[in-house]
Amino acid sequence: MKTVPLSIEEWQKERIKEEEIMPFLKEGGDFIKEDLIRKAVNKDYKPDKKRLEEILAKALAIETLSLEELSYLMSLKDPQSWARMEEAALAIKRRVYNNRIVTFAPLYLGNFCVNSCLYCGFRKENSQIERKILSRAEIKQESEVLAGEIGHKRLIVVYGEHPQTDLSYIKESIETIYKVKVKTKNGWGQVRRVNVNAPPLNLEELRELKKVGLGTYQVFQETYHHATYKRVHPTGTIKHNYLWRLYTMHRAFKAGIDDVGIGVLFGLYDWRFEVMALLLHARELEKEFGIGPHTVSFPRLEPALNTPFASGSSWQLSDEDFRKVVILIRLSIPYTGMIITAREPKRIREESLKWGITQTDASSRIGIGSYKQGVMRQEEKKQQFILGDERSLDELVGDLADKGIITSFCTAGYRCGRTGKRIMELLRSGQEGIFCKLNAILTFREWIDDFASSSTYQKALLLLEKEREEVRCRYGQYLPLLEEYYRRISRGERDLFF
Ligand code: SAM
Ligand code: SF4
């Protein structure tokens, strides 16, 4: 019997499965206890250096902080305490992730959406946006540019919420990307990890998604403040349902996806509340599944075409408070990966390196189909919002190399089963840092051989020499294999990893 396609309205009505929310609720409520958070936000403490050092020692031991400990840190006012916290944040980042920054690119696949999020250029009422969904051939072309011309190995694919970009489209697009293999100057380029930023899926869909080998599954709560959430996601839309979104990661774990990314869109509500809520979310996942978030994202609200809300919010986050947000997340969820995107201007992205961020994008184009078209300018009409930093990957790699930071294209972790609980243990013990270092060296060499400009190449080679020397001195047992892989890569072999 032929199945009749659902209308968009019917499709929307069937999305939310109450039976996949209710079992998670405790005493009828969710885990974002607003009264607790409010008390923690408003509490005054007598400044006490010993207390500060005790809390920092706990964070440096890569232990998740309590709400009370975060509340103490947040209450501090003096610049000296914040300088000390910044120092500790960087030390934690170095301990867990060493001197590497992982890079990736966003790939927007479709901007049709049934929701009306007040802050987003893709909301359904926005008639000024050009709507498009990439075909399989177009996805292939975009991926060929990303993997074969720019040299990205890691993508985050992004979708609106719409029946035309439902699970079957998401799966097909990921499969298409993984199949791309392009000849490069000295070897070949391929996307090795596809992370997904998609609307909340149900349990069955998440099980299906797992089968196509996704990296991290990201869904941002946007705001954890219940009343604000309801206000900015209007009644009658799928996204209006706070709990459906809040428990997405619970469903993901149940479906066997154990690399999950959470986040807040800062600028919708009080940042202090949101940082506390992020910690509660991480602690809830740790308690229920033994694993916290693989990444935390903290985008700030950016202007978007024909979207006055995005420029007029009274909760816009200042640069000074943004610094506090990043430091506090680093300290309170010390093992987690922290992503800063090209939404932020270059100056903030560079400063944030001192606050403990671990991942960033480059050469980003967020218009649908913009990579293939070689679009150099931003295209407001096709974008969800406007980017603040348009540096190319080559420029970013060179700028980071100037600071002694190695750009890592490593995607080995999840392909060798270093995910979920295992990766958390490795990160906490500092063990993952060693693998990361070795794989960063190898993938960096791959990338510079294929894609670097001559000035970036020279800087990168010097950095690689230093890195290999460090391995020789500190991790001698890995040196023979590292050197063998390194030689083979410089002769054109690819994808050798620890
Ligand atoms: N449509 C899906 C959803 O809402 O879950 C996928 C994500 S959306 C395309 C990607 C993220 O962009 C959102 O979760 C939101 O945090 C962020 N975003 C939306 N509008 C923004 C704006 N004006 N400035 C900065 N970030 C924005
Ligand atoms: Fe749609 Fe996501 Fe934009 Fe909301 S944030 S309008 S769900 S694309």
- Cα angle 453, 454, 460; round to 5: 85
Examine the domain organization and report whether 307 and 441 are in the same domain: no
Atom nearest to 238 CA in ligand 2: 7
Examine the domain organization and report whether 437 and 392 are in the same domain: no
Assign 3 a pLDDT band (cuts: 50, 70, 90).
Answer: low
Question: Rounded to an integer, what distance in angstroms lies between the CA atom of residue 196 and that of residue 47?
Answer: 42
Q: How many domains does the chain have?
A: 2
Q: What is the mean pLDDT of residues 86-112?
A: 94
| Mutation pick for ligand 2 pocket among 122, 132, 222, 301 (CB with most ligand atoms within 8 Å) | 122
Residues of the chain with pLDDT > 70: what percent?
Answer: 95
Looking at the predicted structure, is the pLDDT value of residue 336 above 60? yes
Examine the domain organization and report whether 438 and 396 are in the same domain: no
Examine the domain organization and report whether 357 and 459 are in the same domain: no
Q: What is the structure's pLDDT at 379? A: 78
Q: What is the mean pLDDT of residues 363-382?
A: 82
Dmax (CA) of the chain: 72
Examine the domain organization and report whether 378 and 452 are in the same domain: no
Looking at the predicted structure, is the pLDDT value of residue 71 above 70? yes
Range of the domain at 450: 432-490
> Which of 376, 409, 442 is the last residue in one of the domains?
409
Looking at the predicted structure, is the pLDDT value of residue 2 above 60? no
Tens of pLDDT, residue by residue over 120-168, are 999 999 999 999 999 999 999 999 999 999 999 999 999 999 999 999 9
Q: CA end-to-end span of the chain, whole Å?
A: 51
Is residue 242 domain-resident?
Answer: yes
Q: What is the mean pLDDT of residues 338-345?
A: 95
> Are 156 and 218 in contact, with CB atoms under 8 Å apart?
yes
Examine the domain organization and report whether 404 and 442 are in the same domain: no
Tens of pLDDT, residue by residue over 5-17, are 789 999 999 999 9
Q: What is the structure's pLDDT at 437? A: 87
Q: What is the mean pLDDT of residues 360-385?
A: 83
Ligand 1 pocket, residues with Cβ under 6 angstroms: 119-120, 158-161, 197-199, 219-220, 222, 265, 299, 301-302, 304, 310, 343, 384-385
> Are 485 and 442 in contact, with CB atoms under 8 Å apart?
yes
Atom nearest to 233 CA in ligand 2: 4
Tell me the backbone φ, ψ of residue 82, rounded to 5 degrees: -70, -35
* Beta carbon of 117 within 6 Å of any ligand 2 atom: yes
Helix 271-289, helix 34-42: angle, nearest 10: 130
Higher per-residue pLDDT: 200 or 369? 200
Mean pLDDT taken over the chain: 94
Examine the domain organization and report whether 237 and 191 are in the same domain: yes
* Beta carbon of 161 within 6 Å of any ligand 2 atom: yes
- Cα angle 134, 135, 137; round to 5: 115
